[in-house]
Amino acid sequence: MKTRILLTASAVVLAIAGGACLFAPDEIIRTMHAGGLPIVVQLLGALLFAFAMVNWTAKDSLIGGIYNRPVAIGNLTHFTIGAISIVKLVIAGSLPQAAWMIAVVYVLFAAAFARVFVTSPVSEEAGTR
C-alpha cells in the first residue's frame, strides 16, 4: 500500500471529523443522545495521546522554518484553536474561572509554536542557525 494514499485518506477523514467537532459540537452530542459522550472523550484522549507521541518522537529533530513543518503546523493549530476556544468559554462564563490557568498554558504554547513556525531552527550541537 502506498503511504501517500493512506496518509491522504486519514488526513481527509480526521479533518472532516475535526471540523464537525469544532463547528457543530452540540449537534454531535445531541445526535449521540449523550450516551456516546464517553466515546467522544476517549477519542479525544486518544488524539491527544497520539499528538504527544508525535511530539515525543520529533523532540530530537530540528523543527522550525522548513524543518518538520507538519509538526510545527499541527501544534500551532491545536494550541491556537484551543486557546481561542477556552478563553471564549471562560469569558462567557461556561467554564469556571480556574480554567484561566489552562487558557494561559494554551496561549503560551500557541505563541511558542508560532515563533517556531516562522523562525529557522537553532542546532543545539553547533549552536548556530
Domain count, the chain: 2
Q: For residue 27, which amino acid is it?
A: E
Domain that holds residue 3: 1-52
Task: State the pLDDT at residue 83.
Answer: 93
Residues 124 and 88 in one domain: yes
**pLDDT, tens digit only, all 129 positions of the chain:** 566 776 677 777 778 888 888 888 888 777 777 677 777 778 888 888 898 888 898 888 888 878 888 999 999 999 999 999 999 988 988 888 788 998 999 999 999 999 988 888 865 555 555
Task: State the pLDDT at residue 63.
Answer: 83
What sign has the CA pseudo-torsion 26, 32, 34, 39?
negative
Q: How far is CA 106 from CA 34, 45, 112, 129, in A?
A: 27, 17, 10, 27
Residues 15 and 40 in one domain: yes
Residues 31 and 78 in one domain: no
Q: How far is CA 26 from CA 21, 22, 30, 69, in A?
A: 9, 10, 6, 33
Residues 47 and 64 in one domain: no
- Record the cell numbers describing residue 129, joined without a space: 542557525
Q: How far apart are CA 69 and CA 55, in angstroms?
A: 12
Task: State the pLDDT at residue 87.
Answer: 92
